[in-house]
Each structure stands twice: as structure tokens, then as C-alpha cells.
Chains A and B, each alone.
Chain A
Amino acid sequence: MTERRPRRSRRASTTMLLVLVVATMPAGSAFAQAGSPAIRGINGSWETYPPRAAGLGSGEAASIPGPAPIPDPPLKPEYLDEWEAERARIAELTSQGLPPVTSGMACLPEGMPGMMLGTFPMEVLETPGQVTIIQEAFTQVRRIYLNEDAPAPEDAEPRFAGHSAGRWQGDTLVVETVGVKDYVRFRNVPHSPNMRIVERIRLVGDQFMENQVTIEDPQYLTAPWTWTWMYRRWPGYKMQEYVCEDNRYFVDPKLGYQRLRVE
């Protein structure tokens, strides 16, 4: 009589085999084989470009021109006045040394599209069917599901990063994002539940990546609001931990302005 191996140990061997296969894959392959159609070359660590203040990125000097500054939002007049008044109020209080309390102080993440400005370095992971972007600041994560449609705005549970669907069109990853929480406001610009963010992401040479951002929101905007962000590859950069809630030394929001808590 042939001795049958118990089910349990067969499962254990399969697990072991899987572990071995994964362990012998090239580092950074994230379960996808090199040359797979899933890997289009945007994976890896990136810093925003052109370089900003020391410590925010690699410190490498600029080598090509950066994108134009982000224009003011084309808000409808009824919203523009309020937006400009708020900008002036914040500037005035800040000049007095009493900057208003912000969401960042409460460790709330930037959300979309702010998390793509590259406050700190970011990491792009390409895996079959998905592109994942991790921003070091606030440990923000967004998942872009490939080759499927974004949900209808009314079906999209509001989130900080919204819901993103992407499709490669030639060398460009076109990503549509909906379902951003109404109080997640890039540059303090209000938006409706129907706001749609379209990003056109592509490599520029091997070292740079461009992200053409378009915000569509006919309820608030007279025209699409568009700008371009650029990133520079940072080979070998290992993302750092950012647990913002670790240190609540800082301010008493009840005061209504930012103030170091001195004990």
C-alpha cells in the first residue's frame, strides 16, 4: 500500500516552494517578472523636480528646465472671491506669526491631488494590473487599478486619495481619479463630488517623469485647471518611515492658531 502524504504537509511543501520562488526573483521585481508588460519603467523612487530646499530630496543640482508654476484655479467668480479672501487672511495671520491651524498639524494626509506634488520622496510600484504610489510624507498610499474604469462619482466612497483607474496609452499612463473627500482641498480650492482628476504620466528620458494634471469640475471651475509636475529618479533611495502621530508635542488647536506647546 502506498503511503499517502498527509494533506497538511503537502500544503507546507507548496508554501515552501512559493517562498523559494519568490526569494530567488530579482530584487525589486515585486512579483512581476522583468520584461513583463506590467513593468513599463516608472517603478522605483522619485523626488519632485526641480530640486527644492536641502533635505527634501537628494540634493542633486537641476539639469533640465522644470515645469511652469501652477496657475491660480479658474474658479467661478462666486467662489474666486472667497478663495482670494481666505488666501489673504492666511497670509496676514502668518505675517503676524499666528498661522491658522491646518489639517497637516492634525496629521491628516494631503490626499489627491496634493500627495502627488512630492512633498517628500515617493515610490512607484508596478505590479500586474496595478500601479501603487507611496508618498513618504504622512505615509500616503494610492492604488491605481489598470484597465478598468473609475467608479461613477456617486458610487465612489469619499476618500483622501479617491479612487483611481489607469490605462497605458502608448508611453503614457492615463489615470482618472474620482471620489475625493470634499474637505480635501489642494491649495484650499473647493470642489464638488463630481470633481475628476486626470493625470497623464510618462517618462521623459530615463531619469525624469512628467505628470500632466487636469482638474475637471464644471460646478466650481470655468475651465479645466491644469498644470505639470515633474519628478526625478532617485536610484537606490529607500523610503523612510513617517508616522505623524508619533509626536504630539506641538500645538494646541483650541487656540485657533499654530503655537508650540511649551511645558
Chain B
Amino acid sequence: MRLKRGVAGWAAALGVLAVVSGSPAFAHHSFAPYEPKLQIKFSGVVTKFRWANPHVYIEMDVADEKTGATRHWLIECANPGILNRVGWRFNMLEAGDQITVIVSPLRNGEPAALLKQITLADGSTYTNGGPAGPATID
């Protein structure tokens, strides 16, 4: 179900919470829902590239190597500011692009993941900025 909430709705839902700052690495949220050590690598076709704060998202279709069945993945990236500072550009991806990613998947098994490294069709490679942590596999 798609939730539609205004800022006021979010604030109401969070009404009992304090505004807690002080973690320099994460402006918006924790990356703890992702596997802390496990990284996987796969290739696929971009279906959507959403360049917006507080996080950039890539959606992609990935064919299962054995069955050929397609699985749709949601890849979380840092925010536009961080990505600009490590060399990305807002228009460097579009639907239909072939990409290869190294990611840490969600711990709960759903097809979503935190990006560690992306390789574009032209072979250029980008990190997801320091707070997301480095790729540890090739």
C-alpha cells in the first residue's frame, strides 16, 4: 500500500519522538536495515532513476541466472549532494541503461538494497559515498 503523508502527517506520527541530531554520518536515516557484511553483485536494466533528496533511488530489473525470471530491485543511494561530491551527475542514468551493482541487501530478504558501487554501460565506476561504506567484493 502506498502511504500518502504530508509533512504534518509524518510529524504527527513521530510526535512522541525527540528531534535527535548528532550522528554526522547519516543526515536522514540509519543504514542498519541492510546486511552489515553481506554484499552481492548483479547486473540488470534500469527502469527508473529518481534523483531527489533525501536519497536517490535506482529501480532495476534483474534476470535470475538460472530461471531467467525477472526480479525488480530497489537500490538505495546516498543523497544528491553526496553523490555530486563523489562525481555522479543527475543525468548519468536513465531507464533502459544496463548497469552492474555491488549492494548490501535488506536483512529481511525483500528485493531492496544499499548501493556500494555502480558500473555504468561505458565501464565507469562510482561509489555511493563514504557513509554507505565501501564495496568489499569484486
A103 touches B53 (CB 8 A): no
**A108-B19, A242-B79, A247-B53 known; A258-B112 Cβ under 8 A:** no
Q: Could you tell me how many residues of chain A have their Cβ less than 8 Å away from some Cβ of chain B?
A: 64
A-B CB pair tally, cutoff 8 Å: 183
- Contacting pair A59 B19 (CB below 8 A): no
From A12-20, A178-186, A217-225, the one touching the partner chain is: A178-186
Question: Is A258 a contact partner of B32 (Cβ separation < 8 A)?
Answer: yes
Q: How far is the CA of A102 from the CA of B20 in the complex (A)?
A: 7
Question: Judging by beta carbons under 8 Å apart, are B50 and A247 in contact?
Answer: yes
Count of chain B residues with Cβ under 8 Å from any Cβ of A? 52
Main secondary structure of the interface of A (DSSP, over half): loop
- Indicate with 1 or 0, residue by residue over B99-110, a CB within 8 angstroms of chain A CB atoms: 000000011101
Which residues of A lie under 8 Å from residue B55 when comparing CB positions?
Answer: 247, 249-250
Partner of A262, one of B14, B29, B53, B74: B74
| B13, A106: Cβ atoms closer than 8 Å | yes
B24 touches A56 (CB 8 A): yes
- Least CB distance from A81 to B in Å reads 17
A55/B19 in contact, CB under 8 A: no
Residues of chain B contacted by A108 (CB below 8 angstroms) = 11, 14, 19
Q: Which residue of B lies closest to A110 (CB)?
A: B21
The answer to whether A242 and B53 touch across the interface, beta carbons within 8 angstroms, is yes
Does A78 sit within 8 A of B, measured CB to CB?
Answer: no
Docked-complex contact B27 and A250, CB < 8 angstroms: no
B70 to chain A, nearest CB (A): 16
CB-defined interface of B72-105 with A at 8 Å, one 1/0 digit per residue?
0010101111111110000000000000000000
Binding site for B on A (CB under 8 A): 48, 52-59, 94-95, 97-99, 101-111, 114-115, 117-120, 136-138, 160, 181, 183-188, 190, 240-254, 258-263
